Structure 1
Amino acid sequence: MNTKVQGWTIVHQRRSEWRGVFDGAFLGERDGAWLAGRMFQGKSMRDGFGENGEWWYATYYDSQFEHEANRALRAVREYIRLAKEAADCWDSIFDQRAGEAVDRHWAHRVSLEGVHDMSAAWVHPGLTGDIRGGTILLPAVEAKYELLKYMRGSYAVREEFREVPQIRPGSALAQAYDAAIAAAGPVRLSVAGDHFSLSYDGSYSLDPRSPGIPRNPHPSWRTSD
């Protein structure tokens, strides 16, 4: 499957066969602009794009009057719609996987090679107690991916996307996403009262079934145990 077409990075794609016809949809990003498109119908998993990377049709999300996070959100919605139209491409977990693909794409945008292990955390304050989420210490890029997943899963963040002023560049929501995507170390940010962070503090998994991932703790590492 292609990873780049016409200068666009393929963030997520799905192609499948139905009654002898292969069909598919894809989600792409280039310089902060996003698109969602349909592949050509064909006879194999490899003929969804033309010889020069052409596709059947696509919708572009490149308005400079909205920040990238909102462009990506709208592109994902269109991608899901197209996947439902393409033969046997959509399933019950497709929406989740598409969102996670965007999070992982952003997590890799800034090189984190050599950055020490971090943990990600989320706090939603409440009158009867805070709701919290957090990870163990993970390789930096994985911790950043988890941070972005927390943001995507937050009800407070989703509600902010409904507010027109918040989808514009420079808004509090835009600044939070810019900080998360650009993070190359610890970061703290807030969106509509929810708090998100990356930190060098935390614990490693003690589960003997966990794979042997090399540890790279920060010199100032403090365990939360």
Structure 2
Amino acid sequence: MSSTVVNGWTIVTQTRQEVSPNHFQGVFLATGRGGHWVAGRHFDGKKGSTGFSECGEWWHGSHFTLGNPTENMLAALEAYPELAMKAAVWHRLFEQTAAQTLCRFLAGPRRDDLPLLSAGWRESDAGHRLPAAGSTIALPFHEAKYQLFWYLHSTRLGAKAHLTEGVTIDRHEAYTRVRDATGPLRFELGYNTYWLDKDDAS
């Protein structure tokens, strides 16, 4: 999976559309050195324009540099839809599409040398009721990592990780473990358990 690099920033996802006759607007999400992230708005332009100047500048945006790389990334992702609304390129599935593209980026390239694994999650302790859960069949490794990143994203509210500080790993450690994984893993984040395994490990 190749990525566009502009002025030292790797573009993770971007949207550019014609909002009036031959008038294009757009937004982008990008990462740079040191775990820094930016949610930016392209320069307006005509058909064929990239939205960036010749030296790689853009119109404006928000930089996220003060937290750890995961905090910066998620803050940029949260700011991204508001920019899209102002640029008139937002649509009903904008947030979902951006998050899925980010998960795909984090999962990395295809790795045929690594095992097929399933990805999954469940509530760690649901008491007397059946725990909420989800899992996949065995998938190529990069696809399993993508699915696990998506589970982390889509279950983040229910996990309530802020309530288990010092008990389970935090979100940054979770994202780091999945990104660095080359085989099975399992961890608790908040009130949920997540895994990559050779079988459905629920």
2:43 is aligned with 1:40: yes
What TM-score do the two structures reach when normalised by structure 1?
0.78
Matches within 5 A, 1:49-128: 49-63=52-66, 66-87=67-88, 89-108=89-108, 112-124=111-123, 125-127=125-127, 128=129
| Superposed displacement of residue 50, structure 1 | 1.2
- Letter aligned with residue 80 of structure 1: P
Q: Distance in 1 between matches of 2:131 and 2:164?
A: 28
Cα-to-partner distance string for 1:42-99 (whole Å, 9 max, x where unaligned):
0014331112222111211111xx2222211110121111000003x10010001111
> Which residue of structure 1 aligns with residue 6 of structure 2?
5
* Equivalent residues of 1:16, 1:45 under 8 A apart: no
SS of the residue 2:119 aligns to: strand
- The corresponding residue for 2:175 is 177
How many residues align? The count is: 192
Q: Which runs of 4+ in 1 moved over 6 A?
A: none
Segments of structure 2 that go 5 or more residues without pairing to the other structure are none
Distance of 1:164 and 1:188 partners within structure 2:
20
1:15–1:37 CA distance, 2 compared to 1 (3 A) = same
1:192 & 1:59 partners in 2: Cα distance? 29
Asked whether the 8 Å contact 2:41–2:61 carries over to 1, the reply is yes
Root-mean-square deviation (CA), in Å?
2.3
What CA distance in whole angstroms lies between the structure 2 residues aligned with 1:164 and 1:16?
Answer: 41
Query: Once the 2 structures are TM-superposed, how far is the Cα of residue 173 of structure 1 from its aligned partner?
Result: 2.6
- CA distance in 1 between counterparts of 2:85 and 2:97 reads 14
TM (norm. structure 2) is 0.86
- Counting aligned pairs with the same residue, the percent is 34
Does the CA contact (< 8 Å) of 2:187 and 2:195 recur in 1?
yes
Gap runs ≥5 in structure 1? 203-223
For 2:74 and 2:6, the matched residues in 1 are separated by 21
